Amino acid sequence: MNAPLALLAELTHRCPLRCPYCSNPVELTRASGELTTQEWARVFREAAALGCLQVHLSGGEPTVRRDIVEITQAAHHAGLYTNLITAGVLLDAALMARLVDAGLDHVQLSVQDADPAGAERIGGMKGAPARKEMAARLVTEAGLPLTLNAVVHRQNLHNLPLLIETALHWGAGRLEVAHVQYYGWALMNRDALLPTREQLDAATRIVDAAREAHQDRLLIDYVVPDYHAARPKSCMGGWGNRFLGVSPAGRVLPCHAAESITGLDFPNVRDTSLRAAWEDSDAFNRFRGTAWMPEPCRGCDRKEKDWGGCRCQAFALTGDAAATDPACALSPQHGLLAAAVAQAVSPDFRYRGFD
């Protein structure tokens, strides 16, 4: 069994934005259910002892937590490389300075669209684009490395060249161009977000050209959507293999979307150690390695490359979390993806939110 390399700490589900593709579960945890500062500090120490080298401080919006500075400091003291994943709309100069003093290593800032009107509409927050530009300035002026994270889909892909310009203009050293992954909220809004094959191919060409044109200034990571794929992604690098997530309420997860799979009982840091959760829990062992795999994965020479794809997607699309990911052309249910693309025509979506 490998030790985990990275911890995703979802500090809260609260967020001023309402992106319709939010990766949080459809059933959100309220503030009263969130782990305390001390509980997070213990999680960080246990994660570092278990082998984690970096922590992604995420949410929701992590800076809505009043103790975000103490939390960052606790992660830093545990010896973890600290990455703040933020929408940036609550950052000001004072908070930035305190986060730097607390040991913050890197900031990943989300952008919803390069066009401000589109960004306001998709993120569901007036005034967010200007605040984000200010946040980018605060990060670079503090001397911290900046990544822009652009989630792309049918309604903003036409602005991809402008998104790349924005990353350069704002002084980002990295840009993530991540096609929406369809779980939870995004699955609910799939018809409004799925790109066409032509859009995907155009985006890939634009990213390839930008990588070459800006190779000295900007590193571009590119995440493609499953719905036009012939082979599945190596989801999380394998279930329970490298990645560990802890939800706002303390549930320990092999992937941030894992709670969408019903019938799995996830351990909670309030009841158990991170090590016991990682090594001994049924939830982590259920799909670890390759022994659980059915055909066609079982006899496939790619089974230790893609680990059968994504369990959450298999469950969401087929109702069986142990099925081969339908993103694989060898899956008997591969046709579900083309059918979904064909019916994705309406631009209407539902914002993410507490019900």
Partner 1 sequence: MIPRFPRGVRLHHDQARERWVVMAPERMFVPDETALEVLRLVDGARDLEDIIDALAAKFDAPREVIATDVRAMVDDLVARGAITP
* Site residues for partner 1 per CB under 8 A: 3, 5, 49-51, 53-54, 79, 81, 83, 105-106, 108, 143-145, 147, 173-174, 176, 219, 221
User: Which residue, 79 or 347, has its beta carbon nearer to partner 1?
Assistant: 79
User: Which residue, 78 or 258, has its beta carbon nearer to partner 1?
Assistant: 78
User: Which residue, 139 or 328, has its beta carbon nearer to partner 1?
Assistant: 139
C-alpha span between 74 and 321 (Å, rounded): 36
Q: Are 67 and 17 in contact (CB under 8 A)?
A: no
Task: Write down the least CB distance from residue 262 to partner 1, Å.
Answer: 31
Separation of CA 250 from chain center: 18
Task: Write down the least CB distance from residue 298 to partner 1, Å.
Answer: 30
The DSSP result for 257-316, as a single string, is TGGGSTT----BTTTS-HHHHHHH-HHHHTTSSSTT--TTTTT-TTHHHHTTS-HHHHHH
Task: Write down the least CB distance from residue 171 to partner 1, Å.
Answer: 12
The 10 Å Cβ neighbour count of residue 265 is 9
User: Which residue, 25 or 245, has its beta carbon nearer to partner 1?
Assistant: 245
Task: Write down the least CB distance from residue 81 to partner 1, Å.
Answer: 4
- The candidate with the shortest Cα–Cα distance to 95, out of 68, 124, 56, is 68
Task: Write down the least CB distance from residue 78 to partner 1, Å.
Answer: 12
Decide: helix, strand or coil at residue 147: strand
User: Which residue, 55 or 327, has its beta carbon nearer to partner 1?
Assistant: 55
Q: Is the peptide bond before 248 cis (omega within 30 degrees of 0)?
A: no
